[in-house]
Amino acid sequence: MKIVMKKTSLKKPHMHLTRFIKPVRRHQQGVALLTALLIVAFATIIAVNIIERQQYDVQRLQNILLGQQAYLFALGGEAWAKSVLFRDKNNSNTSKTDNLFEDWAKPLPSTFIEGGTISGKINDLQGRFNINNLYIKDRNDLSQINRLKEQKALFERLLRVLEISNPISDAIIDWMDTDADVTFPRGAEDQNYLEKSAGYRAGNKKISNITELLLVEGITARIYKKLEPYICALPEQTTININTAPAEVIAALSDQLDLEKAISIVENRTSAFDTVKKFIDKTKGLTTNKTSYELVITPLIGVSSRYFEVQAYVQIDKIRNNLVSTLKRTSTNGIETLSRSPGMN
Ligand SMILES: [Ca+2]
Ligand SMILES: [Ca+2]
C-alpha cells in the first residue's frame, strides 16, 4: 500500500506571516534605536554634569588651598611685624619712645611672593582712645571714680572734635560696668536692650572688639564709622602716645586745644618727644591757662606704646587675605599676639 503523503504547503502562510512581522520588527528596531540614543544623550548630560561638577570642585579646592596659602603668608606678615617691634624695643636708640620716625612705622610696600604679593603696615593702637579706659570696676573707689571722670571728659572732647552730637558716653560706661544701675542722665542697661525686637543684655565687662559698640544704645552705624579710626579696645588702661596720635586725638586732650592747634602740633612733630614734660612745654604756649592744661593732660598721655595693630594684605591669583592682628609688648620685651581678625581693605 502506497502511502501518499499529502503535500501541505507551508509557504503560503509563512510568507504571509513574514509580510506581517517585518513592519513590527522595523518598528521595534526604531524604538530600540531611539531608546539607545536617549540613553546615550542622558549619559552624555550626566557625564557633562559630573565633569562640570568635578571642575567646580577642583576650582573650589584650588581656591581653598590658595586661601590657606594666602593666610599663611599673612601670618608671615604678622611675624615680620613682631620682629620689627622686637628690634625697636631691644635697641637702646629706639626703646625709650615709639614714634612715627621709627622703622615699625614704615609700611611694608607691595612685595612679590610666590604667586602674588604681600603688603602691610603697623599702627600704634595707643595713638587712639582706648574705649576700655571708660571701664570702672569699683564705684566706691575714689581713685577709679576720678580716673573715669578724666577719661569720660577726654572721650566727650573727642566726640566734639569728630562732630558727634549724640551723648553716648554714659551708655558705653553702663555697657561695661558690672551693675545694672542706669547712669544719669543718658545711661542704658539691660532694660533698654531687652525692650528691643531682638532683645539682648548689656555686656557688663570690658569691650574686646570695638565692633561691640554697635550694640550700645545711641551708637548708630554712622557714629561708629566716624569713631572707628580714633578708638581701640585694649585689655588694660592705657595712655595716649603723643608721638603717634593723630590731630583729632591730640585736640581732644584738653579743652584748651582745638583741631587747628592740634594740626599744627602734629605738623611740627619733626622728632620724638622723649618725655611728657617736653610735649607740655612745647605746646603750652598754645593755651590760655598753662597750669590747668598741664594738670589735665599729664595723666592722659605717654611717649611710648605697648599695643600695636598689624594689617597684612595678601593677594594670590584672585584670592585675597587681609589679616588684622593685635600685638602686645610683654614685660620681658617680647611680643605676643592678642587677637586676629579678617580685616577690611
Ligand atoms: Ca620705639
Ligand atoms: Ca552695666
Shortest-distance ligand to the CA of residue 89? 1
Shortest-distance ligand to the CA of residue 329? 1
Which pLDDT score, from 0 to 100, does residue 101 have?
96
Which pLDDT score, from 0 to 100, does residue 143 have?
95
Shortest-distance ligand to the CA of residue 187? 2
Shortest-distance ligand to the CA of residue 193? 2
Which pLDDT score, from 0 to 100, does residue 158 have?
98
Which pLDDT score, from 0 to 100, does residue 343 have?
75
Instruction: Please tell me the distance between residue 183's alpha carbon and the centre of ligand 1 in angstroms.
Output: 40
Instruction: Please tell me the distance between residue 148's alpha carbon and the centre of ligand 1 in angstroms.
Output: 28
Shortest-distance ligand to the CA of residue 205? 2
Instruction: Please tell me the distance between residue 97's alpha carbon and the centre of ligand 1 in angstroms.
Output: 5
Is the link from the previous residue into 23 a cis peptide, with omega within 30 of 0?
Answer: no
Strands 319-329 and 307-316: antiparallel
Instruction: Please tell me the distance between residue 255's alpha carbon and the centre of ligand 2 in angstroms.
Output: 29
Shortest-distance ligand to the CA of residue 102? 1
Instruction: Please tell me the distance between residue 21's alpha carbon and the centre of ligand 2 in angstroms.
Output: 94
Instruction: Please tell me the distance between residue 6's alpha carbon and the centre of ligand 1 in angstroms.
Output: 127
Instruction: Please choose, from the candidates 115, 90, 118, 116, the residue with its C-alpha nearest in 3D space to the C-alpha of residue 104.
Output: 90
Instruction: Please tell me the distance between residue 251's alpha carbon and the centre of ligand 2 in angstroms.
Output: 30
Instruction: Please tell me the distance between residue 99's alpha carbon and the centre of ligand 1 in angstroms.
Output: 6
Instruction: Please tell me the distance between residue 278's alpha carbon and the centre of ligand 1 in angstroms.
Output: 17
Q: List the chain pLDDT tens, one digit each, 345 residues.
A: 455 555 544 455 555 555 555 666 777 788 888 888 999 999 999 999 999 999 989 989 998 999 999 999 999 999 999 999 999 999 888 989 999 999 999 999 999 999 999 999 999 999 999 999 999 999 899 999 999 999 999 999 999 999 999 999 999 999 999 998 898 889 999 898 999 888 999 999 999 999 999 999 999 999 999 999 999 999 999 999 999 999 999 999 999 999 999 999 999 999 999 999 999 999 999 999 999 999 999 999 999 999 999 999 999 998 999 999 999 999 888 999 999 998 764
Domains (range + CATH), the chain: 56-125+307-342 (3.30.1300.30)
